[in-house]
Amino acid sequence: METLETAKIIQRLEDAIELSNISYRYPNAVEASLKNVSLTVEKGKFILLMGSTGAGKTTLSLCLNGLIPQLMEGILTGQVYVAGKNVGKTAVQSLSKVLGLVLQDPETQIIGRTVEEDTAFGPRNFLVPLDKIKEKVNQTLAKVRLKGYNQRLTEELSGGEKQRLAIAGVLVMEPEILVLDEPTSELDPIGRSEIYQTLDDLRRQKDLTILLVEHSSEDLIHKADEVVVLNEGKVAWRGLPAELFRNLPLLRQWGIKPLPVSQIGWNFYEKGWISFGQIPLDIPATESLIRGLLPKYGHRQGERHKKDPLKKQEPNLTDKVKAVQVSNLIYQYNSGQPALQGINLTIEVGEFVALIGQNGAGKTTLAKHFNGLLKPTSGEVIVEGMNTLQYETYDLARTIGYVFQNPDHQIFSTTVEKELEFGLKNAGFKGQVIRERIDQVLQYTGLEKFRSVHPFSLGKGERQMIAVASILVLKPKLLIIDEPTTGSDWTGVQTMMTLIRNLNAAGTTIVMISHDMDLVAQYAKRVIVLKDGGILLDSTPQDVFSNESLLLNSAIVPPQLCRLSSQLKDILSEEILIESSEFTAMFESGERTGCL
């Protein structure tokens, strides 16, 4: 017996993480969030934790650094060991020396007044010498692309910059184990890639163990050692990333976004043209596959159906109704930091416009001028015929809806119904009108079943939908929505984007801020690229995403299928495709040639 117990102790020291029959139920919850989860992670491994919203990913993360059960109430059973330490019997502050946790919402981790002060907080608490702290802070800020930000006020950082800072605050501690809960959801594409490359480098250089919760996979498919899928609080699947991401039915079942190139490959697999193992996972493999299959199954050269040439964004015509007119807009923060520099822009009624750009480019700052949350330092903004300098945000909100990047910044009522009711009452609506509008919007957004539920008992994707619903009841002519799909699983993303598309089809002008280039390409009709507070590009998605080198200088990576189009430009005649169905359409006439 003693020999067996000794062997277990040795094994725990060799493993970074060990969960044994973990179950956890939040206070007042009817059902457990985790149900008999057993999971072992070897030292130095990179594990990707995936699953639909509400599957238990965040709860599992909180169990690893002792926040559950030491600071959060509820019922926890089972054993959790981290670096050989029993989490239930080890102080949270002691665990922070070996395990770093980056939370989903960066603002819950930022406590310093300046970037340097916040990053230095951890080392200072462990009495690291001052000169060593400064050295470590500078090195860490450089790793997360915040070099030179030392004295910037944290309150003036963009959402993505705050996320970088939260990561820096954990990396500076040099933990043995790193647990990250959607750490790049608000980062620009290049920033996301850089963070993951930094993590991968640290893993290899210092034998760092990484457990990463993420909904996106393109940057991680060749970095993660294994994928663990949680479903309804249980481990539903564990294996190699390639095995999971080639299996589209499984991805759909668990609410995980498939790789766009794999959707093309799955179509070929279903036709019997390729084997399961040939389904591509990246652009080079897909390009090779398409070139190999085209001679046998595709249209003959010269016969391939060609779409009409891409239309450039039409110039604004005088007879078109303007929803937004921005003239010579300049904005500076109170600290004197410039944010917008001479913006000139017109958005017409009924347009679907996406604002994209690197973190700190000025996207949210510009959008906040549309509803008067920010006022120009100079220049003017006219929205729906109203000069924002002459109207209060309260008056503008009657026709201009704004959904924040973080839905928790605008949700404060005790039930979903009361949340929707609040805006209507403030706008002067009464009785039957309020009831009818609430009923209509709850039905439209699929929130009817949550009518009497407290918003903060729901997942972030559902809270995002509540924030949207609270604006829709006011029937805005212009809807500004900042990162509408952050924290949502693939099913939630599709639900949200279908809702936004339907609103636009019904005549609502949409201004969307997003770092998800796939969504921008698929849904927006016009894309505006911001860089350093100015407009760099303004055109159709196809036209904008064809400028790959220019976009890379702005920390933007075009969508995977747009980059694939560039690799196949000799076949596509320079055409940029944005849907997987457009690629498979190249083979429609070849379906009668039989299978391999």
Cα atoms in the Cβ-side hemisphere of radius 13 Å centred on 24: 30
pLDDT at 310: 36
- Compute the distance between CA of residue 466 and CA of residue 407 in angstroms, rounded to an integer: 8
Cβ atoms of 321 and 348 closer than 8 Å: yes
pLDDT at 11: 54
- Compute the distance between CA of residue 198 and CA of residue 145 in angstroms, rounded to an integer: 11
pLDDT at 168: 93
Quote the DSSP letter at residue 127.
Answer: T
Cβ atoms of 42 and 109 closer than 8 Å: no
In the chain, ranges of CATH 3.40.50.300 domains: 2-253, 322-559
Choose among 243, 180, 258, 245: nearest CA to 214. 180
Cβ atoms of 153 and 166 closer than 8 Å: no
Quote the DSSP letter at residue 310.
Answer: P
Classified as helix, coil or strand, 551 is: helix
Exposure string of 160-169, with b = 16+ CB inside 10 Å and e = fewer, is bbbbbbbbbb
Choose among 59, 183, 48: nearest CA to 109. 183
pLDDT at 216: 84
Cβ atoms of 259 and 83 closer than 8 Å: no
What class is the 322-559 domain?
Answer: alpha beta
In total, the chain counts a number of residues equal to 596
pLDDT at 202: 84
Residues pairing with 227 in the sheet: 48, 239
Radius of gyration for the chain, computed over Cα atoms and rounded to the nearest angstrom: 25
pLDDT at 297: 86
pLDDT at 576: 92
Single-letter code of the amino acid located at 196 = Y
Residues pairing with 17 in the sheet: 41, 82
pLDDT at 302: 40
**Below-70 pLDDT ranges, the chain:** 1-13, 299-319, 588-596
Choose among 219, 220, 268, 234: nearest CA to 248. 268
The number of angstroms, rounded, from the C-alpha of 181 to the middle of its chain's C-alpha atoms is 11
Classified as helix, coil or strand, 270 is: helix
Q: Write the CB contacts of 577 (distance below 8 Å, at least 6 apart in sequence).
A: 561, 562, 564, 565, 583
Task: Answer positive or negative: Cα dihedral of 106, 110, 114, 119.
Answer: negative
pLDDT at 195: 86
Q: Rounded to the nearest 5°, which phi and psi values hold at 548?
A: -60, -45
The topology under which CATH files domain 2-253 is Rossmann fold (3.40.50)
**Beta strand pairing status for 75-82 and 85-86?**
antiparallel
Which DSSP string do the residues of 341-392 spell out, in sequence order?
EEEEEEEETT-EEEEE-STTSSHHHHHHHHTTSS--SEEEEEETTEEGGGS-
- Compute the distance between CA of residue 397 and CA of residue 382 in angstroms, rounded to an integer: 14
Each residue's pLDDT tens digit, 326-384: 999 999 988 778 899 999 999 999 999 999 999 889 999 999 999 999 999 999 999 99
CA dihedral defined by 143, 144, 146, 152, rounded to 10 degrees? -120
